[in-house]
Structures are given as C-alpha cells and as structure tokens.
Structure 1
Amino acid sequence: MSGPASRKAGTAGRGRADPPSRAPGRRPGGPDTRGEILRAARESFAGKGFAGTSMRAVAREAGVDAALVHHYFDSKDELFIESMALPVDPRQIAAVILSGPRDELGRRILTTFLGVWESPDGQQRMKAIMRSVVTSEDVARLMREGITEMIIGPVSDALGVPDARLRVSLVATQLIGLALTRYLVDLEPVASAPVAELIDRVAPVVQHYLTA
C-alpha cells in the first residue's frame, strides 16, 4: 500500500522516541548529593563509630555510587571532619605539633589548641562539640575514635616510648580541663587570663607529660 495512508502509518510507527530508561543502580549526583552523603556519614559514624564506618557503606546509605563519595571527600578522615563540622583539620594539628623540636612540643600543642578556641568561629563550634561530647555517648565515642586516629596516634608514634599513648592521653586531660574552665565554665581568673600567660604556665606541664 502506498499514498497518504501508508505514510501516516509509517509516521505513527516512528512516533515520538521513548525517553531512555535509566539503568538500574545508584542515582547520579544532584544538587544536594553532598548533603545526603554528609547525613549518611553522620548516621554511620554515630551508629558504628569511626572504625566501623567505610566510604562504601556511606555511599550505600546515601543511595549514590561510591565514586561520588570519593569525588566530594578524599578520605574517611575528611568525611569525618566535614560531618562533625570541626573548625580545624585534626591532621593539620598533628602536622603542626610534630613540625618542630621535641623539647618545644608542649608549647606548640598549647599554642595550636588555644588558637582554635580563641577564634570566634572556632570557639562557637568547639563549644557545641564539647557539650555534645559531654551529653552524648555516641558523640563522645565518635570523637574519641576520630581524634585518636588523627592526632593521638601520630603524636604517640612520634614520641617513640612504650607509654606514649598514656602520655598523650594525659595531655588531653589537661587540654580538656583548660577548655572547660576557660570557655564553658568561665572560671576566673583563667577565663580572662591572656593567652600568652596561659601558654607560659601550662606548656611546661604538658611538656612534662610528654618527655619527662
């Protein structure tokens, strides 16, 4: 058959092309993909801890391909830092602490630690984190595991002594106590003491923990 009828039939047969069907699998990146990944990461870190969380597991929870997680975050450390909204990268803190003479470790630690707390944004975030650590066992465990992995571990390894972990943990007690009394409890005269004076007075104590 030829003519208009056959042409009409042929046109109908061709019709409008059906939209390509999406291949099954993870959804591609979208406007809020990074936010979804961070949400999934926070839940995973809170539920499984730092050691029990993997980039691949976070990708599954967020419903995205694992490559997208690696696109936004280079490593699990970075994912942890972003999901906890830490004001400073703990890996950079460890690098600064280990960058100078051994007999000045205490001063570098105090200078770095107080430098984070003294910045307005850093203090606001650190107060929120500190309060969460005190009131939530999940957050406390998460921070404990993450900070151990990124700060306590590297500094302990650099000390190279059998009781290095205990020494560095004692330093942590000094720093946490100082932060609580100065920034959360506002205990005077510690709360209003000049930072330089605090460093001069506390650094020798921290140094003693590490190298005495």
Structure 2
Amino acid sequence: MSELSTDGSPEARRRPGRRPGSADTRGQILAAARETFAEKGFDKATVRGIARRAGVDPALVHHYFSGKEGVFVEAMNLPITPDVVLSAITAVPREEVGERLVRLILTIVAEEEARQPVLALVRTAMTNEQMVATIREFLGQALLGRVAEALDVPPVRMEAAFAQMFGVVLVRYVLKLEPLASTDIEDLVKLLTPAIQGYVGPSR
C-alpha cells in the first residue's frame, strides 16, 4: 500500500478512519504522545500506538517528528535531540569531544526558555515513578547509549559524564551556589572539559 500523503490526495483517503495531515495534526500527535509515554514509558511506547491514539497514520508521526525519539523530545519540551548531540560530537576530533559536549550543554541551559522545561521534568520525576522510568529509558537508549556507541566507549563512561554535567546544571541554576552560579561559561568550559574528556576520550 502506498505511503499516506499529507496533502489530502486519494492515497491519503485509502485508510478509513485515519485523518490526513491538518493544521491541528501535530498538536494531536503531541497530546497522544504525552499520554502514551505517561502510561507506557519510553520503551513500550510505539509510533504505531501514538498514531492510533491520535487517530492518524503512523507515517504522519515520522513526517512531523522523525520517529519516536523526535516526538518524545517535542512532547517533553526538551531543548535538544539525540541527533543534534551525535552530529556535534562526530563533527570534531576525538580529543575535542569533551569540550564540545561541555560547551553544548552549558550553552543550551544558559537560556531560561530551554532550561525550564528540563528542570520541570526533573521536579515531576522526583514524585512520579513512571516518569523516572520513562526518563531513564530515554536517556539510556536514545541518548547516552547512542553517544557511547558512536564514541566506542562503555555506557558507564557516558553516564558518569552526564551525571557530572547534570550536577553542575542543578547547582548552577537550582541551588544557585556561588561562585558557580555566576561563573562565565567559557571559564566553566575550561574547568570541566578535562574531566569530561577523561570519560569520553579513549576508545575501547
């Protein structure tokens, strides 16, 4: 069967009960994704299940969000996608990966608009076991696992690097502990890069 067209063509009408793309389709998919991830977590959620709940063809989920990882990032208002991280670290020599990761994270969270959804998600996870599991599954599979594979390092190294950077973000923006809270990003990059490079530098 032909792929669903998003322009209302005859191909789009071959699947009874399925809505073609519309101005509201993206929002319908996001609402369905939030409900699905809340119920099933990241592992057990599927593009097909999200599409079924939204009443659209699965092809539209891929069209708008490039698959499950993309729709998760949008549904949770995360400021960066795994693909962006992978592109960033594979675009530089191995000895520059640590600096690239530190700068990327610190630059992104420096913007309050990008930072607040992440912090809100953390607060929710502290009182919601299902959300904890969902975030853990996403980080392990879609983000840290893929980065570790791309760098050919054990996953525990990426988790340690993430833990250190996540701690810095919390202390800087939640606890607002001085002088870390007001230290210039470039100074933090210089301070943190050696440690992060130590985690991700050598290959197996």
Gaps of 5+ in 1: 1-22
Alpha-carbon offset, residue 135 of structure 1: 3.2
1:167-200 CA-to-partner distances (Å, cap 9, x unmatched) read 1111011011101100111111111111111111
Matched, 1:68 2:96: no
Equivalents in 2 of 1:178, 1:27: separation in Å?
A: 45
Matched, 1:25 2:20: no
Q: What aligned pairs does 1:145-184 form with structure 2 within 5 A after superposition?
A: 145-161=137-153, 164-184=154-174
Q: Equivalent residue of 2:43, what SS?
A: coil
Equivalents in 1 of 2:191, 2:79: separation in Å?
A: 25
Counterpart of 1:56 in structure 2: which amino acid?
Answer: R
Aligned to 1:208: 198
1:26-83 CA-to-partner distances (Å, cap 9, x unmatched) read 3455543322211111111122122211111112112233343334333112111111
Q: What aligned pairs does 1:46-195 form with structure 2 within 5 A after superposition?
A: 46-161=38-153, 164-195=154-185
Equivalents in 2 of 1:94, 1:70: separation in Å?
A: 19
Alpha-carbon offset, residue 90 of structure 1: 2.6
Q: CA RMSD in A?
A: 2.1
Equivalents in 2 of 1:74, 1:159: separation in Å?
A: 23
Greater CA radius of gyration, 1 or 2? 1
Indicate conservation of the 8 Å contact 1:26/1:64, yes or no: yes
Judge which range, 181-190 or 133-142, deviates more.
133-142
Counterpart of 2:158 in structure 1: which amino acid?
Answer: V
Q: Equivalent residue of 2:182, what SS?
A: coil
Equivalents in 2 of 1:128, 1:134: separation in Å?
A: 10
Residue identity over aligned pairs, in percent, reads 40
Judge which range, 86-95 or 130-139, deviates more.
130-139
Taking a change above 3 Å as real, the CA distance of residues 192 and 60 of structure 1, as seen in their structure-2 partners, is same
The total of aligned residue pairs comes to 188
Counterpart of 1:187 in structure 2: which amino acid?
Answer: L
Equivalents in 1 of 2:61, 2:183: separation in Å?
A: 44
Length-normalised TM-score, structure 1: 0.79
Equivalents in 2 of 1:92, 1:129: separation in Å?
A: 20
Equivalents in 1 of 2:130, 2:199: separation in Å?
A: 29
Equivalents in 2 of 1:47, 1:108: separation in Å?
A: 35
Length-normalised TM-score, structure 2: 0.82
